[in-house]
Structure 1
C-alpha cells in the first residue's frame, strides 16, 4: 500500500528539517542561509507590491514570508503559488536568450516552495520547485518536478543524521561481488578509485579512505539543492536532490536524482534528451546525451556518455567516451573509447588509452561459473571485433586482441602484442611488438591525440600518454628473458636435445645469443610460450627475432629521449650524465589512475595515509601533485637505468664513446619509426581492396584526403628533423 500522508496546507514549505535534527538555537533555514550567503540583502514586500502580485494571480500562504531585493519588479511575477519563505532578487524587464530560446525575466505559472532566487532569473511552467537556491540569470522552463529533500547527499556516498548504514551508496567497481566497493564523492579522481579498489587486505588503509570521505561532508540534514549562475534547465521531467554548477545546460532529461553536476564557465556540463541518471557524480565539462541510463557512477571531467549508453556501478575516467553500449562494475582510467551498441564491459580495470570494438564482450558471465571474476588491462588495451574474454585475465600495455572467442583465462605479460586465437590449428598465437612492426601510425598518433585532446582544467594527476614510459618499458624489459628462454627451448627441441640438465641461466644465455647473433635461425623456429593461457594447447610466439631487437632498440631510444629532454635544464655535460648513471636504478612502476608512480613512491604514499600523516582526500591530491612534480626526474632515472641495463652496461662502462653510439642509434630508430608511420598509413592508399570503393584516385583523395597532406605524418617528419638537429648540437656541445 502506498503511504500517502495528509498534512495541513499551512505546513507546506515549512519544517524542512525535523526538530529532532535541528541544532539548539538554530532554525530550519540556518544551512540555507550559509549556502546562499546573501540572505541579509532582502526586504519584505510593501502593500503596493502585494496588491500587484495578487492582481497577477499569485498566491502565498503568508506574504510576510516573501522577501525581495530593492530592484524587485512585481509585474514580472504572474500565476505563481508560493509556500514557505521565498527570497527573490532583482527582476528587470528583459528577456534571456539561450540557443534560440527566448523567455522574459521573471516567475511565471509555477508552484514555488521555500526557494531563493538570484537576479534576473527566468522560471516558467515549473509544476513544483522546492527547496532550491537559484543563481543569477538562470533559466528554468517546463519542468515537472524540481525538489530537494532534507537528507540530500547529491550523489556522495555518505549517510545523514538518523539514517541507517544500509542506505549508503557504494560503487561496486572491478568486481561484481562488491568486494572492491568504494564510496563515491564529489572530486573523486581516477587515482583515488584505484587506490581504494586495491589493497583490500589493508584494513587500516581502507578505514582511512572511508574516514576521508565521511570527513569531507557533514551529516547535518537540511542542505538545499543549488543551480549555479547562467545555467539552463528546460523540458525536464524529474529533478530531485541534484546540485548543479554554473553554466550547465540540461534539456529534456527524464529523471535526474541524487546527483552532483559540476559545471563552470570554460568547462560547462550538458545533459540531453531522454537521460535517466541516478546516484552519481558528474565532473566538469561532461556531456550526457540521448537516452543514457547511468546508476551509481562517477564521470570524471570532460567525459561523455551518448546514444543510449548504460553505465552502472562504474567510474569513467577523464576525456573518455562511451556510446551505445553497456558498462558495468568497471573502473576505467582516462582516454577510453567505446562506441558500439553491441560491446559489453563488465568487472574490469581498464588502465586508459583503450578502445573497445563492436561485439567485444569483456567479462561476460556467460563464459564463467561465477560473478566474481576480473579483467585487468594495461594502457592501450584494444580488444578487436567480437572478442570474448574469460575471467580472470590480465594483459600488459598496448595489447591488441584479434577477433575470436577466448575460452580460457589469459595472462599476457608481453606489451605491444597481437593476440590471435587460431582455431584451425587450435593454437593461441602471440606476436610481441606487433604495433611497431605493423601499425606504427596508429600507435604514435594515439599518443599524440590523447595529449591534444586532454581538456582537463584541473590536472592534479599528471597522466602519461607516451607509449614509451616507465610502465611499458618495464614490461618490455620483463619480456626479454621470456623471449630468450622460449627461444632457447625451441632451439634445443628442434635438434631433439633435452634441456633437463641445463640451468635456466644457461638457457637464457643461449636464447640471448641466438636472438642477437643468429636472428635468421630463430625466425625458422617454432617458439612456444608457457603460463600465458590456462589450457594444455600450444601458445606460440611469432616474429620473436624481430620483436626482441626492436624492444632493445626502443628501450635505448626511451633512454636517449629522456636524456635529451633534460639537457637544457639539469644535464649540461656528459660528466653530469655519468653522475646520474651511477645512481640511476630501475624499479617497478604502477599506473595509479593514469598517473605513473614508482612502486616505492606508492608504498610511501600508502604508509603516510595509513599513519595519518595524510588525513584527507585534499591531502591525497596534494601528494599526487608532489609526485607529479618529481615524475620527470624519476622517469629520467628509470630511462637511464633501463638503457644501461638492456645493453648490459655498468655505470663504469658508460663512456662518452658508447653514449655517442647510443645517440646515433636513437637517430636511426627515430628515422625508422618515422618511416614506419608513413608506411603503415600508406598501405591504406595502396591496398586495392580499399581502393575499389572509389572510381578513381582523385575521388579517393577527395574522400579521405591526400597522403602527403596528412598533418600527423608531416608533424612526425618535422619532429625527426628537429631530433636530428638536437642530437647534432649535443654532440657538438659535448664534443662527442
Structure 2
C-alpha cells in the first residue's frame, strides 16, 4: 500500500526535482525555463494587485512567487489558489470562443501549482493544475486533474535519472512474447519499427537501435508537461505527463497519461469522449473519440481510432482507421482499415492497404501450445467475413480469404489470389489472379482510394499504393514459376523434378492442352494432409503475364513522357550489363531494394549512421531514387517475362508495346464496369426495392458512378497520349 505523506503547506509547489538529481549550480526551474513557448518580461505583484486578488477570493502562501507580465488584470483571476512559482503572461479583457464554447480569459476557480500560463489563456474550473507550461490562448474548462511527474517521459521508451530498468516502456509488436519489442519515440516511423522488429538475432544491430533511441532524449529530470498554443481541453478527468501540440481539441477524456499528442494548425489532432490513452505517441491530424482504449501504442499521422476501439502494444501506420474492434501486439503499415466490433487482430505484421472484415479473427494464439505465434501479411491483405486464421501463417500481397475457419497454418505465396474451402471434398482451393479476373472494380478502386486518403503534409517517404509495383510483380513471377511446376508435376509425375517447370510452361503455352483434366496441386501451402488445389490455372497464368507486361509498358510510357528513345538507349541499352530484376522489400510502406536495405542496416550496425534522423534522411534519399529503381525493375521484368534481350528493345517494339498497353488499359476499364454492373443485374439485390428506379435513387445509377467515370476519363487520356509516342 502506498504511504500518505504530510508536509508543510508552504512547501507545496516546490522541490519538483529531488535535490539529488539537480546539477550543481542549478535550481529546480532550469529545464522549465528552457521549455518556454513564448518570451515575456515578468515582474512581482504590486501590493495593490495582491489586495485585489485576495478580495477576489484568491489565495497563495507566498505571493512573492506569483509573477506576472504586463498588462495584468487581477479582476480576471477569481477564486483560485496558487502554490510554488506561478508565472502569468499578458492579459486582455477579451473572451475566447471555440465552436460553441465561450470563455473569458483569465484564471477562475482553479488550483495552480508551479505553472507558466501563456498570454490570453482562459482557465476555468481546473481542480488541480501542477507543473504545466500552458501556451497562448489556450482554453481549459472543467478538468479534474492535470499534473506532471519529475521523471515524465511523454510516451517515449526511455529512462530518466534514477528510474528502475523495469519501468522502461516497450511496444511488444508482432509477437505476444515480447521477443520483437521496440522502444517507442516521438517521430518513429513504420519503417523504423519494421527494421527493429526484424534481425532479432543480430545483437549488435539491436543495441544500436536502442542507443539511437536513448540518444534522442535528455535523461535529466524536471521537464514540465506542455499544452501548445490555441489548444482546447474541456470536461476531462486525468491528464498527466503529456506533451500536447498546438491547436489540439481534447474533450471528455477519462485519462491521458504519459502521452505525446502531435498537433499543428494545418493538421490538428482531436481526442473525444470516454477515451483512455496511456503510454502512447499520437501523430499529427489524428482523430480519437468515443470510448477508445489505447495502451503502449503509436498512432501515426492522419489516422483514426473510434467507437470503442482497443489498441494495445501496437503500431498503427499513417492514414489508417480502426473502429470498434481489438488490435493487440501488431505492427500495421499505412492505409489499414478495420471497422467492425467483432474483428480481432493479434500478433501480426500487416503490410498496409489492408481491410479487416467483420468477424475476422486474425490472431488468437489460443490454438497453439504457446502465445508466440505470428502472422505476416503482404499489402492489400483482405480476410473476408468470419475468417479465422491460425498462427503461424504468411500471405502474399492482395490475398483474399473467403469466409471460413482455417484450422491449419497457411503459406499463401501467390499474389492477388483467392483462398477458399471446398468443404464437400475437404480441399483448400487457390484461385490465382482472382482480383484481375473477377473483381477489378474493388482492386482498382482501392488503388485510387489510398492515394486520395494520403493526407500527409510532409511526404518524406514514397508510400507505394499501386497494385502493380516491384513487390507484387516479384511475387507474381514466383507464382508463375510455382504454377508451371505444379502443372508439369500434375501431367508428368514420373519426370525428373527439375523438368517440371519446363514441361508445365509448355502445357500452359499450348492452347490445345485441357488443364481441367487433372487436379493441379500445390505443395507446402497448408500444414495438413488434405489437398491444396490450384483452379482456373490457365486464366490466372495468362492474367499474371498480361499484368506484368502492362506494368512494364506503363513505366516505360511514363519515362517517354519526358525522355527520347536516344536517351533511353544511352541510359539502359549500351552498358553491356544484363538487366536483373531486383528484389524489393516493403519497409513500412516504402519499397526499398534489398541491396539498398542491406547497406542501410550495415551502416547502422557499423556506426556510420548514429541517429534516427539520419535514417529518415536515407529513407528520403531512397524515395527520390525509387522512380528510377522502379523503371529499371519494370524493364528487367519485361525482358524476363518475354524471354528477351536488351537488343530487342527497339523503338518500333517499344512503340508497339505501349500501344498494346492501351488495349490492356481498356480491358481494365471494362472489367471495372463489368464487376460493378453485376451488382445492378443481381435479382436478389433488386428484390428489396419496388423497381429499378428506386434502386437507382437509393444506391445511385451505374452510369453516374464517379469511380467508373474517372477510370473512363483516365483511359481516354491515356489512349490519346500514346498516339504520338516514339514517332
TM over 0.5: yes
Q: Which residue of 2 is the match for residue 655 of structure 1?
A: 650
Q: Which residue of 1 is the match for residue 317 of structure 2?
A: 317
* Partner Cα separation in structure 1 for residue 667 and residue 55 of structure 2: 82
Alpha-carbon deviation of 1:74?
Answer: 0.6
Q: Which residue of 1 is the match for residue 587 of structure 2?
A: 592
Alpha-carbon deviation of 1:503?
Answer: 4.2
* Partner Cα separation in structure 1 for residue 715 and residue 423 of structure 2: 42
* Partner Cα separation in structure 2 for residue 201 and residue 153 of structure 1: 29
Alpha-carbon deviation of 1:664?
Answer: 3.1
* Partner Cα separation in structure 2 for residue 477 and residue 706 of structure 1: 39
Alpha-carbon deviation of 1:37?
Answer: 5.9
Q: Which residue of 1 is the match for residue 506 of structure 2?
A: 513
What is the SS of the residue equivalent to 2:625? helix
Alpha-carbon deviation of 1:659?
Answer: 2.5
* Partner Cα separation in structure 2 for residue 610 and residue 556 of structure 1: 39
| Deviations, residues 493-528 of structure 1 (Å, cap 9, x unaligned) | xxxxx42x4242x22112111112226612443211
Match of 2:691 among 691, 696, 703: 696
What is the SS of the residue equivalent to 1:60? coil
Q: Which residue of 1 is the match for residue 573 of structure 2?
A: 579
* Partner Cα separation in structure 2 for residue 71 and residue 52 of structure 1: 15
Q: Does 1:409 align with 2:403?
A: no
Q: Which residue of 2 is the match for residue 45 of structure 1?
A: 45
* Partner Cα separation in structure 2 for residue 131 and residue 218 of structure 1: 18
**Alpha carbons 1:571, 1:577 under 8 Å: kept:** no
**Alpha carbons 1:138, 1:230 under 8 Å: kept:** yes
Q: Does 1:556 align with 2:543?
A: no
* Partner Cα separation in structure 1 for residue 153 and residue 574 of structure 2: 51
1:99-248 aligned at under 5 Å gives the runs: 99-248=99-248
Which structure 2 residue ranges, 5 or more long, are not aligned? none
Q: Structure 1 residues 328, 37: CA separation in 2 closer, same or farther (over 3 Å shift)?
A: closer
**Alpha carbons 2:557, 2:658 under 8 Å: kept:** no
* Partner Cα separation in structure 1 for residue 486 and residue 81 of structure 2: 80
* Partner Cα separation in structure 1 for residue 486 and residue 279 of structure 2: 50
Q: Structure 1 residues 602, 42: CA separation in 2 closer, same or farther (over 3 Å shift)?
A: same
Alpha-carbon deviation of 1:569?
Answer: 3.2
| Deviations, residues 236-265 of structure 1 (Å, cap 9, x unaligned) | 000010110000011000011000000010
* Partner Cα separation in structure 1 for residue 503 and residue 302 of structure 2: 51
**Alpha carbons 2:37, 2:135 under 8 Å: kept:** no
What is the SS of the residue equivalent to 1:297? strand
Q: Which residue of 1 is the match for residue 88 of structure 2?
A: 88
* Partner Cα separation in structure 2 for residue 537 and residue 607 of structure 1: 43
Alpha-carbon deviation of 1:694?
Answer: 1.1
Q: TM-score, normalised by structure 1?
A: 0.97
* Partner Cα separation in structure 1 for residue 143 and residue 660 of structure 2: 66
**Alpha carbons 1:519, 1:545 under 8 Å: kept:** no
* Partner Cα separation in structure 2 for residue 121 and residue 503 of structure 1: 77
What is the SS of the residue equivalent to 1:665? helix
What is the SS of the residue equivalent to 1:59? coil
* Partner Cα separation in structure 2 for residue 593 and residue 192 of structure 1: 8
**Alpha carbons 2:282, 2:299 under 8 Å: kept:** yes
* Partner Cα separation in structure 2 for residue 150 and residue 174 of structure 1: 32
* Partner Cα separation in structure 1 for residue 532 and residue 720 of structure 2: 45
What is the SS of the residue equivalent to 1:123? strand
1:594-633 aligned at under 5 Å gives the runs: 594-633=589-628
Q: Does 1:567 align with 2:554?
A: no
1:350-429 aligned at under 5 Å gives the runs: 350-429=350-429
* Partner Cα separation in structure 1 for residue 504 and residue 585 of structure 2: 29
| Deviations, residues 387-414 of structure 1 (Å, cap 9, x unaligned) | 1111100000000000001111000110
**Alpha carbons 1:471, 1:590 under 8 Å: kept:** yes
1:292-307 aligned at under 5 Å gives the runs: 292-307=292-307
Q: Which residue of 1 is the match for residue 270 of structure 2?
A: 270
Report the RMSD for the aligned CA atoms in angstroms: 1.3
Alpha-carbon deviation of 1:572?
Answer: 4.3
* Partner Cα separation in structure 2 for residue 645 and residue 707 of structure 1: 40
| Deviations, residues 617-654 of structure 1 (Å, cap 9, x unaligned) | 11110010000000000000000100110001111233
Q: Which residue of 2 is the match for residue 714 of structure 1?
A: 709
* Partner Cα separation in structure 2 for residue 11 and residue 503 of structure 1: 84
What is the SS of the residue equivalent to 2:330? strand
* Partner Cα separation in structure 2 for residue 315 and residue 553 of structure 1: 37
Alpha-carbon deviation of 1:39?
Answer: 5.8
Alpha-carbon deviation of 1:373?
Answer: 0.4
**Alpha carbons 1:581, 1:640 under 8 Å: kept:** no
* Partner Cα separation in structure 1 for residue 2 and residue 470 of structure 2: 59
Which structure 1 residue ranges, 5 or more long, are not aligned? 493-497
What is the SS of the residue equivalent to 1:420? strand
Q: Does 1:522 align with 2:515?
A: yes
* Partner Cα separation in structure 2 for residue 353 and residue 204 of structure 1: 33
* Partner Cα separation in structure 2 for residue 39 and residue 414 of structure 1: 60
* Partner Cα separation in structure 2 for residue 243 and residue 291 of structure 1: 21
| Deviations, residues 292-347 of structure 1 (Å, cap 9, x unaligned) | 11000000001111011100000000010001110000000000000000010000
* Partner Cα separation in structure 1 for residue 517 and residue 695 of structure 2: 40
What is the SS of the residue equivalent to 2:236? coil
* Partner Cα separation in structure 2 for residue 5 and residue 75 of structure 1: 35
**Alpha carbons 1:580, 1:637 under 8 Å: kept:** no
Q: Which residue of 1 is the match for residue 430 of structure 2?
A: 430
What is the SS of the residue equivalent to 2:155? coil
Match of 2:530 among 510, 531, 537: 537
Q: Structure 1 residues 442, 651: CA separation in 2 closer, same or farther (over 3 Å shift)?
A: same
* Partner Cα separation in structure 1 for residue 713 and residue 236 of structure 2: 51
* Partner Cα separation in structure 1 for residue 649 and residue 206 of structure 2: 45
* Partner Cα separation in structure 1 for residue 443 and residue 516 of structure 2: 25
Match of 2:670 among 644, 652, 675: 675
Alpha-carbon deviation of 1:72?
Answer: 1.3
**Alpha carbons 2:257, 2:277 under 8 Å: kept:** yes
Q: Which residue of 2 is the match for residue 484 of structure 1?
A: 484
**Alpha carbons 2:10, 2:62 under 8 Å: kept:** no
Alpha-carbon deviation of 1:703?
Answer: 1.0
Q: Which residue of 2 is the match for residue 729 of structure 1?
A: 724
Alpha-carbon deviation of 1:571?
Answer: 4.6
Q: Structure 1 residues 714, 581: CA separation in 2 closer, same or farther (over 3 Å shift)?
A: farther
What is the SS of the residue equivalent to 2:514? helix
| Deviations, residues 220-243 of structure 1 (Å, cap 9, x unaligned) | 000000000000000000001011
Q: Structure 1 residues 141, 412: CA separation in 2 closer, same or farther (over 3 Å shift)?
A: same
1:4-83 aligned at under 5 Å gives the runs: 4-36=4-36, 38=38, 41-83=41-83
* Partner Cα separation in structure 1 for residue 475 and residue 13 of structure 2: 62
* Partner Cα separation in structure 2 for residue 85 and residue 6 of structure 1: 21
Q: Which residue of 2 is the match for residue 495 of structure 1?
A: none
Q: Which residue of 1 is the match for residue 258 of structure 2?
A: 258
What is the SS of the residue equivalent to 2:329? strand
**Alpha carbons 1:17, 1:150 under 8 Å: kept:** yes
**Alpha carbons 1:581, 1:641 under 8 Å: kept:** no
